[in-house]
């Protein structure tokens, strides 16, 4: 058996082991959390002025 055959086996084996490790790394949810926070702020920014406008209308209605 040539030494290069063994080296090739080791190299292919190492790549598979590395991929297995990569697949086990937990996914970072940071971008998802950032998007969710931004969406929440957006919703609040849109509804707060409406809510305060509504409050001003209450005395007029009553």
Partner 1 sequence: MAEERELTKRLATGDVEALEQLIKRWREPAEHYAFSILHDSFAAEDAVQEAFARVWAARSAYDTRFAFSTYLYTVVRRVCIDRIRREKHMPVPLGELPEIPAMSAEDEYLIHNAKLERIHRIARLNETDRKLLLGSALEGRPIRELAKELGLSEVHARVRLHRIRKSLKKGLVYDDD
Give the C-alpha separation, 21 to 15, whole Å: 10
Buried b (16+ CB within 10 A) or exposed e, 26-37: eeeeeeeeeeee
36 lies in the site for partner 1, by CB under 8 A: no
21 binds partner 1 per the rule CB under 8 A: yes
Q: Assess 14 for contact with partner 1 (CB under 8 A).
A: yes
Rounded to the nearest whole angstrom, what is the least distance from the CB of residue 36 to partner 1 in the complex? Answer: 16
Q: Nearest distance from residue 14's CB to partner 1, in Å?
A: 8
The contact set with partner 1 (CB under 8 A) reads 1, 5-6, 8-23, 25, 27
């Amino acid at each position: 058996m040539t030494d290069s055959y063994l080296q090739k086996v080791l190299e292919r084996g190492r790549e598979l082991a590395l991929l297995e490790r990569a697949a086990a790394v937990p996914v970072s949810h940071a971008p998802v959390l950032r998007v969710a926070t931004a969406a929440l702020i957006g919703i609040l920014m849109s509804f707060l002025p409406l809510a305060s406008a509504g409050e001003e209308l209450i005395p007029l209605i009553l």
